[in-house]
A and B are shown apart, each in its own frame.
Chain A
Amino acid sequence: MAKRSFLIPGVDKRLLIKDSIKTMPDVTRRRFIAGGASLGALTLLAGCDVIDSSSAEEMLKSVSKFNDAVQAFIFNPDVLAPTFPESAITKPFPFNAYYDLDDAPEVDGKDWKLEVRGLVDNKKSWTLDELYKLPQVTQITRHICVEGWSAIGSWTGTPLRDFLKLIGADTRAKYVWFQCADKDGYNSPLDMRTALHPQTQMTFKYAGEILPRAYGFPMKIRVPTKLGFKNPKYVVSMEVTNDYKGGYWEDQGYNSFSGS
């Protein structure tokens, strides 16, 4: 499983990993990204440069960027994710994170406010009560995890594109960047075309009930056209921006577009 444990309390895990990679001896570094039987496979790739871990890493990163572009090209904003009848819902819907359920953020709904930043006309923060008053729709769609498993769930909330319109967001900007209350500070960028997809949703309810803590209370962003890790939970802020600000998993090597 891709679950990682918190290494040292109070230390940013990603920075720690980044720093420690730098100090790793070359062989260890190579195994870190290529791993196991890879050395043999790497030599097969011909050319001595490829043996060098950083070249292999760079090659893979370039292809991943190329794949971002291919996926953006394939993405058709009018194609909807398949929807299912209630009978198809997976029970129980799995809790999934890089930490145990006990470590999931406990957000106080009364104090919580959604911060809005960046290229928007109205930067006012939103309370949960204010958000609950916005028109909501329900979707029953398949959540597909980067690990391969999938589960069908029922999510209710406000289409993100309606909210972006409401706050006067510059929808020509490249990304909406979400920050979350998860420990280690989860965050994830969403390309604007996907943010404007009709099924991309600010989710407040699961299966008709207020979003439980396990599924991201108080607010999750449900994106049925993306892999699960691009569906942030426990969202505390959104920023409309032209800058690519990276993401928790994206920075560690998951493909950034990761569209379905």
Chain B
Amino acid sequence: MSSLTVTDEQVSATPAKVIQPAWVRVMHWINALAMVLMILSGWQIYNASPLFGFSFPRDYTLGGWLGGGLLWHFAAMWLLMINGLAYLVTGFATGRFRKKLLPITPSGVLHDVRAALTFKLGHDDLSVYNYVQRTLYAGIILVGVLIVLSGLGMWKPVQLHWLVMLFGDYPTARYVHFFCMAAICAFLVIHVALALLVPKSLRAMIIGR
């Protein structure tokens, strides 16, 4: 059991410490796939009866027509829900959420947003999230919970009526579902742009180090 005690020499001898554990990486990429499938099929479904005065370009929809979009949406939802649930349980059980995402203080967020906008936000230690990251990651988890709950409510507005009531009524749940999608798309743009700006963070999400 002596290997449990790690000396400074051993630490510096290892190439780099694991920044993203394997379960985070696996679930992250499953979620990425599920999200893309859900968004593209969701746009197909939206186009059948648009909430606003626009439709999504056909080339960025999945399924070919409403029926195909629905088949994709209600297949990928299992991937999204099971993976998401496993992520939440593991995140709480391992204490990762608490260690990585908390605390989030207004002054910390303000400071880091200002630093980020002037490109002064350092990324020396990828294992510690700055306040911008904490806010975005915690926020997107909440949006993820909300989009699944509003989606389940729309899927089963009679059997899960209490879930619909949480949002007011069925049409409101539809709007909530749409705006959560919009928030996720906005997050995706920022998230991908930042990952490309700091390539070692992308590497850490692929190989862990």
Contact = CB atoms under 8 A, between A and B. Distances in A.
Contacts of A147: 45, 48-49, 66
B156 A74 contact: yes
B62 A35 contact: yes
B170 A36 contact: no
A235 B103 CA distance: 62
B74 A32 contact: no
Contacts of B157: 142, 144, 260
B61 A149 contact: no
A162 to B, nearest CB: 21
A79 B163 CA distance: 14
Contact of A254 (B70, B78, B159): B70
Given A36-B58, A260-B158, A31 B64 contact: yes
A156 B191 CA distance: 53
B75 interface: yes
5 tightest A-B CB contacts, nearest first: A35-B64, A253-B67, A147-B49, A147-B48, A63-B75
Interface stretch (A37-45, A116-124, A163-171, A214-222): A37-45
Interface of A: 1-2, 31-38, 41, 44-45, 59-61, 63-64, 67, 71, 74-76, 79-82, 142, 144-150, 224-225, 249, 252-255, 259-260
Contact of B49 (A145, A253, A254): A145
A75 to B, nearest CB: 7
A34 B27 CA distance: 25
19 contacts: A34-B62, A34-B68, A35-B61, A35-B62, A35-B63, A38-B40, A67-B74, A74-B159, A76-B159, A80-B158, A142-B170, A146-B48, A148-B45, A148-B174, A253-B70, A254-B70, A255-B71, A260-B157, A260-B158
B161 interface: yes
B74 A150 contact: no
A14 to B, nearest CB: 13
Nearest to B57: A36
Contact of A253 (B40, B61, B71, B159): B71
Interface of B: 33, 36-37, 40, 44-46, 48-49, 51, 58-68, 70-72, 74-75, 78, 154, 156-159, 161, 170-171, 174
Interface centre among A32, A44, A64, A148 (most CB of B within 10 A): A148
A63 to B, nearest CB: 4
Nearest to B155: A260
Contacts of B33: 44-45
B161 A82 contact: yes
A36 B158 contact: no
Contacts of A71: 156
Given A148-B174, A253-B68, A37 B62 contact: yes
A249 B67 contact: yes
A255 B74 contact: yes
B59 A36 contact: yes
B70 A146 contact: yes
Nearest to A45: B33
A67 B81 CA distance: 14
B63 A38 contact: yes
Contact of A34 (B64, B159, B174): B64
Given A74-B159, A79-B159, A41 B74 contact: no
Nearest to A145: B49
Contacts of A2: 48, 65-67
B49 A148 contact: yes
Contact of A41 (B37, B51, B65, B161): B37
Given A60-B68, A74-B159, A80-B158, 11 more contacts: A34-B63, A34-B64, A35-B44, A35-B61, A35-B65, A36-B62, A38-B64, A60-B71, A67-B74, A147-B66, A148-B45
